[in-house]
Amino acid sequence: MLDRLTSLRVWLLVAMLVTAVVTIAAGSAIGGGLPAQGIVVAGVIAILVIGEAWLAATMLIRTVRKPVSRAIETADRLATGDFSARMGISGPEEFAHLSRAVDGMAGQLQQADTEQKRFLADLAHEIATPLSAVSGFAFALVDQSARTKAERAEAATIVVRESDRLQQLLEDVRHLHRLELAESVRKEQVDIGMLCTDTAQRFRLAAQHAGVTLAVSTEQVSVIADPRLIDAVVNNFVSNAIRYTPSGGGVQIRAYRRRSATVIAVRDTGIGIAPQHLERIFDRLYRVDNARDRATGGSGLGLAIARRAAQSLGARIEVESKPAEGSEFSLLMPSVAPHVRRTTQPGAMPGTEQMPREG
């Protein structure tokens, strides 16, 4: 609109100048009174130019005043925490772009604020559950309402177990907080095959206790990345795979190169995840089954931590899962070095002696 307004002003000025030249030329042709006529024409032109400039300025001010006022008002409301404020798209094209940008930013702030409030409410609920158990059974020990030796032992066991759960929850919250504060990322050469082997060794005892076979099958690949962040992702994958795989099942850790990405995949033969839950499993404190997760000790923050760590790596997570058949969680990272050989740890699940898939 501003461009059209400027073009109109230019054409009007050109028309007045052409009129003035024609008038003066006509006066010169008929002789006599040329100086006076020229002065009068020049004066008229000056008045018209001033008037046109005033009109243009007035129209421009009226055009921009309303959108600017709305922008200021919206910014003030956002600054005070009212994330429902919106400019609305109207006015010249330039201000329409501004309106879309401001409203988009306001929408993101509102969504972040809503998610933060929901997270704090969920966190309070998660803390209240074990805290109530600790408090109740601690009082039972103090006031001696737990009379028998068996009752006191049970109360003490519950206090210790729920205290550990609280400790784990708080540790996960701290970990997620550090990641979201953009904790510095170290870049170094990481041998993915060795990292996967070390992870398997770390979880070998837990897998044995759960009656689950844990196998490793990797290509020799490496990336330039932060090993702490890769560990955070893979540890979560393996921990969840063991937790949700019934006794007699298997968990396999694989590492391989796929096109321009290095992939670490953890596959299990566990209970799987229903399709309606797949979109939300990375949300903070989201559980597919609250009762089952609490019974197995999950904090509900593990996958949120894994996703944030993957984002810090410049990587992404993919999930494939079918109820009652199992799940596969994969971390895809940019590759820098091709694989040269393949290693397989003893105890591989049936059918894992084949080379990992590529594609």
Residue 233's nearest CA partner among 330, 137, 156 is: 330
Question: What is the full DSSP assignment across 219-272?
Answer: E--EEEE-HHHHHHHHHHHHHHHHHTS-TT-EEEEEEEEETTEEEEEEEE-S--
The pLDDT assigned to 272 comes to 93
Tell me which DSSP letter residue 329 carries: E
Residue 325's nearest CA partner among 253, 252, 245 is: 245
CA 331, distance to chain mean position in Å, is 16
Is 176 within 8 Å of 229 (Cβ atoms)? no
| Coil, strand or helix at 189 | strand
Structure tokens at 273: 């995840």
Residue 231's nearest CA partner among 182, 197, 273, 280 is: 197
Structure tokens at 249: 């099942």
* Spatial distance between the Cα atoms of 207 and 346, rounded to a whole number of angstroms: 15
Tell me which DSSP letter residue 162 carries: H
Residues in the chain: 359
* CA angle, 144 then 148 then 149, to 5°: 105
Structure tokens at 13: 């000025």
Structure tokens at 70: 């709305």
The pLDDT assigned to 357 comes to 38
The pLDDT assigned to 338 comes to 40
Question: Locate tokens 């937790």: which residue?
Answer: 243
Per-residue pLDDT of the chain (359 residues; tens, 9 = 90+): 445 555 555 555 555 555 555 555 555 554 544 455 556 556 666 666 666 666 666 666 666 677 777 778 888 888 888 878 888 776 667 777 878 888 888 888 887 777 667 666 766 766 777 788 888 888 888 888 888 888 888 888 888 888 887 877 777 777 677 666 555 678 899 999 999 999 999 999 999 999 999 999 988 888 999 998 899 899 999 999 999 999 999 999 999 998 889 999 999 999 999 988 888 888 877 766 544 454 455 567 888 888 888 988 899 999 999 999 999 999 999 875 444 344 444 444 433 333 333 33
Q: Is the pTM of this model over 0.75?
A: no
The pLDDT assigned to 216 comes to 94
* Spatial distance between the Cα atoms of 186 and 338, rounded to a whole number of angstroms: 22
Is 309 within 8 Å of 185 (Cβ atoms)? no
Q: Where are the alpha helices (DSSP H) in the chain?
A: 2-30, 34-79, 93-142, 149-180, 192-210, 227-243, 275-278, 290-296, 302-313
Q: Tell me how far apart the terminal alpha carbons of the chain are, to the nearest angstrom.
A: 52
Residues whose CB is less than 8 angstroms from the CB of residue 13 and which lie 6 or more positions away in sequence, other chains included: 49, 52
The pLDDT assigned to 34 comes to 47
Is 287 within 8 Å of 293 (Cβ atoms)? yes
Is 213 within 8 Å of 345 (Cβ atoms)? no
Is 126 within 8 Å of 285 (Cβ atoms)? yes
Residues whose CB is less than 8 angstroms from the CB of residue 160 and which lie 6 or more positions away in sequence, other chains included: none
* Spatial distance between the Cα atoms of 24 and 34, rounded to a whole number of angstroms: 7
